[in-house]
Amino acid sequence: MLCTSCKQREAIIFRKYSGEHLCLQCLRRSLGKRLRQTVGKFSLLREDDRILLVLLGFETERPAVEIFLDMERNFPGVVISCLAVSRDSVETAKEFELQIEDISISRSSSRWDHIIEASKQAIQKSINKDFTKIVLPLFLDDVVGLFLLGALRNYPPAWVINGRVLLGDRRTEPPIITPFFRIPTEEILLLIGKNWEPKDKILQSINELENEFPGSRFNILNSYRNLFLSQKHRKLMEAI
């Protein structure tokens, strides 16, 4: 099947939620565009930010860093350092010639605890360092997974609302943001020629749901955003 965008190259993916067939080059271009649009739409980054990029060591890390740096090359005033929380992340930092602010190997037993612990470590490392943003490379499936985990625990360990990561339901200082939250995991992995085979049970369930009902991840994302905002509005009204 030919790519529906360039109409020249062979497609490597069919986006069931949009009906597009895309080749590798057009997929890369599409993801880069979505990243830039997300940053712009939700005002996640500025041209003079000092960024602490948290490298979690997940399978998505290398392509995530690549498209993020491609975007930031247009903003020479941005300063990027990284916090490596896994041994693989140290190698990623070296590959992309990133300045390593610190290495703090996480001992968390689960993917979700790893995300929360890394977020808290990043906040601690940012004290007196003048960082204006912490960037956490979480993708659509991670964001939906955090919400579902919260449903299982009766309280989410973190919310991602319009690209801003809230620990519990509170904003952090400096802000933690994730400009990748509208990018599906399987799409970013295709940039390095890998198929997504989730090992985590929650991610497996999300993958199965998406395969059966294309677009369900975006529907959950939008629904829980509205749920969060309505809860905050209700609390505000009760306080008046």
User: Residues, the chain, total?
Assistant: 240
39 sits in which H/E element: helix 24-41
- What band does 157 get if pLDDT is binned at 50, 70 and 90? confident
- Inside any domain, residue 18: no
| 126 conformational bin, left if phi > 0, alpha if psi -120 to 50, beta if neither | alpha
pLDDT digits (tens, 9 = 90+) for 41-80: 999 999 999 999 999 999 999 999 999 999 999 898 999 9
Ranking 65-69, 84-88, 107-111, 174-178 by mean pLDDT, the lowest is: 107-111
- Inside any domain, residue 189: yes
CATH (domain of 113): 3.40.50.620
- Residue corresponding to tokens 């939008």: 222
Q: What average pLDDT is seen over the chain?
A: 92
Query: How far apart, in whole angstroms, are the C-alpha atoms of residue 23 and residue 44?
Result: 29
- What band does 85 get if pLDDT is binned at 50, 70 and 90? very high
- What band does 208 get if pLDDT is binned at 50, 70 and 90? very high
pTM (predicted TM-score): 0.91
Query: How far apart, in whole angstroms, are the C-alpha atoms of residue 23 and residue 196?
Result: 17
Q: How many other CB atoms are there within 10 angstroms of residue 192's CB atom?
A: 11
- Residue corresponding to tokens 């929650």: 202
Query: How far apart, in whole angstroms, are the C-alpha atoms of residue 28 and residue 71?
Result: 12
- What band does 212 get if pLDDT is binned at 50, 70 and 90? very high
- Inside any domain, residue 119: yes
- Inside any domain, residue 121: yes
- Inside any domain, residue 65: yes
Name the 3-class secondary structure at 208: helix
**Domain range spanning residue 42?**
28-239
For residue 14 the two structure tokens come to 């069919």
Contact status, residue 68 vs residue 149, Cβ threshold 8 Å:
no
- Inside any domain, residue 15: no
Q: Which pairs count as long-range contacts for 87-90, CB under 8 Å and 24+ apart, including other chains?
A: 87/57, 88/57, 88/61, 89/55, 89/56, 89/57, 89/61
Ranking 35-44, 139-148, 150-159, 215-224 by mean pLDDT, the lowest is: 150-159
Q: Is the pLDDT of residue 238 over 70?
A: no
Query: Measured on CA atoms in the order 205, 161, 149, 89, is the torsion positive or negative?
Result: positive
- The more confidently predicted of residues 107 and 84 is 84
pLDDT digits (tens, 9 = 90+) for 92-121: 999 999 999 999 887 778 999 999 999 999
Per DSSP (E only), the strands in 132-236 are 133-135, 158-161, 164-167, 176-177
- What band does 225 get if pLDDT is binned at 50, 70 and 90? confident
- Residues ≥6 apart with Cβ < 8 Å to 61: 55, 88, 89, 92, 137
Q: Is the pLDDT of residue 134 over 80?
A: yes
- Inside any domain, residue 19: no
- Inside any domain, residue 11: no
How many domains does the structure of the chain reveal? 1
Q: Which residue type sits at 215? A: G
Query: How far apart, in whole angstroms, are the C-alpha atoms of residue 145 and residue 228?
Result: 16
